[in-house]
Chain A
Amino acid sequence: MQHDDVIWDIIGNQQFCSFKVKTRSQGFCRNEYNITGLCNRSSCPLANSQYATIREEKGQCFLYMKVIERAAFPAKMWEKVKLSKNYEKSLEMIDESLIYWPRFLRHKCKQRFTKITQYLIRMRKLVLKRRRKLVPLSRKVERREKRKEEKALIAAQLDNAIEKELLERLKQGTYGDIYNFPVHAFDKALEQQDEDSEEEEGEEEEEEEEDDEDVGKREFVAEDEVEESDLSDFEEMNKLRTSSDEEEEQDEESSSEEEEETKASGSKGKCPANGSARKKKRSYVEIEYEMEPAPKSTATS
């Protein structure tokens, strides 16, 4: 004998039901045969001897039915009907199977079936789309990397490196005529040259060589000596431009990259050829000497 009301009285209201999940506003039923998922008198599969559900397995939907005649045979209690993949046809099948059943069960079965088909469609669509791949990060590794990066940043001394590189490029003459620093010195030297005599022709090449040799070298000079060094740089830039014009035109960028890569290895190769010969003349780099021959060379060129 089935005592639905008694069962409901016990499990629904007074005592314990292991499928029931209570929240602040509503109760839910965790029984897998429950049709709505709520804990109600009409939805409880234990408290209704005539019951129907829709369940889905691997993309296939089935209609489960329970009648009071089979209540004594728990193994055969649920009758399973496979529903067609066609949505409308399945609805007809449900109607057909539950033909004289209570309206509530019929309606809820169809609703549940609709929901299930909808989420199955969405699953199929999602599989085709691109998915975000979540890659787990290891906290330890991330922390280590962060610290390494900070240390590398400090070691890099970026501002200094950039400034150094820019000055190198200026010296190498990649900027060509744009920057006017040597010009002032040139004018001054021109004036001076008009006054002075032209004795030191013999030392001219040496002076020029010295000037060229000074290109790569950084000297900390006092304020008033700046013009002379400017002058020397102007000279060598002039020479460099004429001699290495082809080089510069060929592949400007690749050479500039090679510059970076060869920064570590040092010189670009333009100076050393002259530098070796002029080493011995280093001691002659005096202010007066440099000024005199410079305008001469420019005048001749």
Chain B
Amino acid sequence: HPRPPQLGHFRFRFNKPKNKSGSRGGNGGADGAEAKEEVKMEKSEAEAAFPPTFNVSEIKNKQRRHSMFVKYKQEKSKLKIQLKKKKKKERKALGDKAPPKEVPKTIENQRVYDETTVDPEDEEIAFDEGTDEFSAYFNGLTNPKVLITTSDRPRGRTVKFCEQLATVIPDAHVYYRRGLALKRIIPQCLARNFTYLMVINEDRKMPNGLVLCHLPDGPTAHFKISNVRLRKEMKRRGKDPTEHFPEVILNNFTTRLGHSIGRQFAALFPQDPQFVGRQVATFHNQRDFVFFRFHRYIFKNEKKVGIQELGPRFTLKLRSLQKGTFDSKFGEYEWVLKRHEMDACRRKFQL
């Protein structure tokens, strides 16, 4: 009887009775027996070759199947390494004439083209931005004044988060909510010349939502906050931020929607950053997540800059954008996050 090559003691033992019984229906039938036969034959012939129609998953014996699979994987990886080496050698041999390195596909590369992507020279958009709610700010007429508040009965973490936000944003005031309705707060804010209302919603002692409302009749954006890190929890952080106006960096806001959100963020900070302070607030959009960071930078020389993170960090995800001020019942929604839309295509993003 053909003996399988040494895979282990067990296999031999299992094999023998099956052989003797021939085609025993109960044990996976002819298929299993055949497969084993094939395997045995193959093994006795050549270690590496398998018949083309044979699939490792057809082996009924778990241990053997597992070991066969492991072998298969090892061989695959060996092949891969060999291929890589060969390519590298070829590349070296060709030297200058080598074809350019292939760029790996990333989600950003493969992003589905969004028709609302903003073209930098688009006149219509420039006109829109010249006349929208933020035009007053961008023309230097108004200075931002931000009111930060929370939902009812905030817990310690949210309170600390609000305080830290207030240090990051110049001219920000924190007020306790005390059970007031937002619709009543808004006229009071207008009376005191606030330009922005920020409401941090809390759930189970952690901040989880942000409503950013531009005050004189402006758009309201509702975000989901995640991954909040307070100053205490940051590693290697610097000292507390000073009172200087920070610079603002807005990255990757490409579509129309992204543009309007970007402008909203920009309008939180005063127009004239004080470079002496060397502080920078960054809103970086990646795959529809907006990452907020606050750093202090220093230019070591022309080509190197060192940054040190101060300040809180958090991630935002846009849930809805409303045209007027906050009004959940009768508001006109410009954009609402629809779950299914986002999940349908992995390479499609809104911001």
A residues whose Cβ falls under 8 Å from a Cβ of B: 129-130, 132, 141, 144-146, 148-149, 151-153, 155-156, 158-159, 161-163, 165-167, 169-170, 175-176, 178-179, 181-182, 218, 226, 229-230, 233, 251-254, 256-258, 260-265
Q: How far is A3 from B311 in the complex, measured between Cα atoms in Å?
A: 78
Specify which of B252, B263, B305 is in contact with A166 (CB 8 Å cutoff): B305
Q: Is there contact, CB below 8 Å, between A162 and B299?
A: no
> Judging by beta carbons under 8 Å apart, are B271 and A253 in contact?
yes
Selected contact of A178 from candidates B181, B251, B276, CB within 8 Å: B276
Partner of B307, one of A163, A182, A257, A265: A163
Check A129–B179 contact: CB distance below 8 A: yes
Contacts of B247 in A (CB 8 A): 169, 256
| Interface pick from B26-34, B71-79, B280-288 | B280-288
Determine the distance from Cα of A238 to Cα of B279 in the docked complex, in whole angstroms: 25
Q: Nearest residue in B to A134 (C-beta to C-beta)?
A: B203
CA distance A257 to B285 in the complex (A): 14
Q: Give the nearest-CB partner of A146 in chain B.
A: B226
Q: Tell me what chain A mostly uses at the interface: helix, strand, loop, or mixed.
A: helix
Q: By CB atoms of chain B within 10 A, which of A176, A256, A257, A258 has the most? A: A257
User: B204-239: which have CB < 8 Å to A?
Assistant: 226-227
Closest Cβ neighbor of B183 among chain A residues: A130
B120 at the interface (CB under 8 A from A): yes
Asked if B307 and A141 make an inter-chain contact with CB atoms under 8 angstroms apart, the answer reads no
Give the A-binding residues of B (Cβ under 8 A). Answer: 106-108, 118, 120, 138-140, 151-152, 179, 181, 226-227, 247-254, 259, 262-263, 266, 271-272, 275-276, 280, 282, 284, 286-289, 291, 293, 295, 297, 299, 301-303, 305, 307, 315, 317, 339, 343
Task: Determine whether the beta carbon of B286 is less than 8 Å from that of A167.
Answer: no
Residue contact B339 to A264, C-beta cutoff 8 Å: no
A181-B307 contact in complex given A145-B317, A252-B272, C-beta closer than 8 Å: no
Q: Are B250 and A257 in contact (CB-based, < 8 A)?
A: yes
Contact residue among B272, B288, B301, B305 (Cβ-Cβ distance under 8 Å from A163): B305
Q: Contact at A156–B286, with CB atoms within 8 Å?
A: yes
Distance in angstroms between the alpha carbons of A163 and B299 in the assembled complex: 10
Q: Contact: B289 with A148, CB < 8 Å?
A: yes
Q: Which 5 A-B pairs have the closest CB atoms?
A: A156-B286, A152-B287, A152-B286, A260-B250, A152-B289
Q: Which residues of A contact B272 (CB under 8 A)?
A: 252-253
Smallest beta-carbon distance B284→chain A, Å: 6
CA distance A151 to B259 in the complex (A): 23
Q: Which of A165, A230, A265 sits near B120, CB closer than 8 Å?
A: A265
- Cβ contacts under 8 Å, A152 to chain B: 286-289
A156 to B351, alpha carbons, bound, how many Å? Answer: 14
Instruction: Report Cα–Cα, A162/B313, bound state, in Å.
Output: 14
Min CB–CB distance B126 → chain A (angstroms): 10
Residue of B nearest to A265 (CB): B120
Neighbour of A159 across the interface among B118, B271, B307, B315, CB < 8 A: B307
Assess A155 versus B120: contact at CB under 8 Å? Given A257-B250, A257-B266. no
Chain B residues with CB under 8 A of A145: 226, 317
Q: Within 8 Å CB of A153, what residues of B?
A: 286, 289, 291, 315
Q: How far is the CA of A123 from the CA of B289 in the complex (A)?
A: 41
A130-B179, A179-B299, A252-B271 known; A261 and B305 CB under 8 Å? no
On whether A261 and B250 interact (CB within 8 A), knowing A149-B289, A156-B291, A253-B266, the answer reads yes
Provide the residues of chain A in CB contact with B291, threshold 8 Å. 153, 156, 158
Beyond A132-B152, A252-B271, A264-B252, 19 extra complex contacts between A and B, CB < 8 Å: A130-B152, A132-B151, A141-B339, A144-B343, A148-B289, A149-B226, A155-B107, A158-B291, A161-B284, A162-B280, A170-B302, A181-B301, A251-B138, A252-B272, A257-B250, A258-B120, A260-B249, A260-B252, A261-B118
Q: How close is A297's CB to chain B, nearest CB, in angstroms?
A: 19
Q: Would A165 and B249 count as touching, CB distance under 8 A?
A: yes
Which residue in chain B gives the minimum CB-CB distance to A251? B138
- The reply to whether A175 and B120 contact each other, CB–CB distance below 8 Å, is no
Residue on B with the closest CB to A145? B317
Chain B residues with CB under 8 Å of A181's CB are 299, 301-302
Look across to chain B and name the residue whose beta carbon is closest to the beta carbon of A182: B302
Distance, CA A158 to CA B292, complexed state (A): 10
30 residue pairs of the A-B complex, CB under 8 angstroms, read A130-B179, A141-B339, A144-B343, A149-B227, A149-B315, A153-B289, A153-B315, A155-B106, A155-B107, A155-B286, A156-B284, A161-B251, A161-B282, A161-B284, A162-B249, A162-B280, A162-B295, A162-B307, A165-B251, A166-B299, A167-B303, A226-B301, A251-B140, A252-B272, A253-B271, A254-B138, A257-B250, A257-B262, A258-B120, A261-B253
Q: Which residue of A has the minimal Cβ distance to B263?
A: A257
The residue among A130, A146, A230 with the most chain B CB atoms within 10 A of its own CB is: A130
Q: Report whether B253 and A260 are in contact in the complex, using a CB–CB cutoff of 8 Å.
A: yes
Among A151, A161, A218, A253, the most chain B Cβ lie within 10 Å of the Cβ of A253
CA distance A264 to B287 in the complex (A): 15
- A256–B248 CB distance below 8 A: yes
Least Cβ–Cβ distance between B210 and chain A, in angstroms: 15
Among A149, A155, A175, max chain B CB count under 10 A is at A149
Q: Which residue of A lies closest to B265 (CB)?
A: A257
Q: Given the complex of chains A and B, what is the CA–CA distance between A166 and B286 in angstroms?
A: 19
- B252 contacts across to A, CB distance below 8 A: 260, 264
Closest A residue by C-beta to B262: A257
